[in-house]
Chains A and B, each alone.
Chain A
């Protein structure tokens, strides 16, 4: 069964460093998303991406964040200058159309 994959599973970085989180969505899907989940809190929407552009973003997704689909398979989230409060699980999701979003296993980002 097709699934969303994410790399790395765990990323440790120092405050102020740039990180790139990578996702390979399900191959025929058209809509792509990033969500995050701070430990003990609920899953929060960051950004949605369709037709090679951002379709919606949350207040969390400020100028330090960017997304890219550099080729036909990868979908990346870049944080330019990480802060302690960026420590969280980051989930990529994708969907073909309509309703069901399928989530990847997540990348645990730890900022020290």
Chain B
């Protein structure tokens, strides 16, 4: 069974601070996706990383895929209250019809 562990589980920070969320596995994934989920809603895709060592930026968010494609990180610079939410990583197994294996999630709260 493939598992994705995210850390920390909860993070409460003040506006303007930087933070990093980690997503770790002992398994190799063909790609890794980051989603954000609001309460009572579906996950919304933020980014997909495919190549080992790949770095992608989305405004103040920086995503990195580990060289061995087993782990990933999400770094947020100068967090804002609008960044509050549940961040999920999800690994895609090989094969085009394959399922996503979701991480345990990191709940972020950014206060003024």
Residues of A within 8 A of B43 (CB): 43, 91, 103
Does B74 interact with chain A (Cβ within 8 Å)?
no
Within the complex, which residue of A33, A89, A91 is in contact with B99, where a contact is CB–CB below 8 Å? Answer: A33
Chain A contacts with B in 1-46, Cβ cutoff 8 A: 4, 6, 31, 33, 35, 42-45
Stretch with Cβ within 8 A of A (4 or more), from B11-19, B53-61, B101-109: B101-109
Does B88 interact with chain A (Cβ within 8 Å)?
yes
Question: Are A31's CB and B48's CB within 8 A?
Answer: no
Question: Are A31's CB and B96's CB within 8 A?
Answer: yes
Count A-B pairs with CB separation below 8 Å.
62
Interface residues on B, range: 20 to 34
Closest to B3 in A: A42
Question: Are B103's CB and A55's CB within 8 A?
Answer: no
Interface residues on A, range: 20 to 34
Closest to B93 in A: A56
Chain B contacts with A in 66-112, Cβ cutoff 8 A: 88, 90, 92, 96-105
Question: Are B42's CB and A105's CB within 8 A?
Answer: yes
| A99-B48, A99-B92 known; A56 vs B40 contact (CB < 8 Å) | no
A42-B105, A45-B100 given. 9 additional CB < 8 A pairs? A4-B42, A33-B100, A43-B43, A43-B102, A45-B101, A56-B99, A99-B92, A100-B48, A103-B35
Residues of A near any B CB (own CB < 8 A)? 4, 6, 31, 33, 35, 42-45, 48, 50, 55-56, 58, 89, 91, 93, 97-106, 108
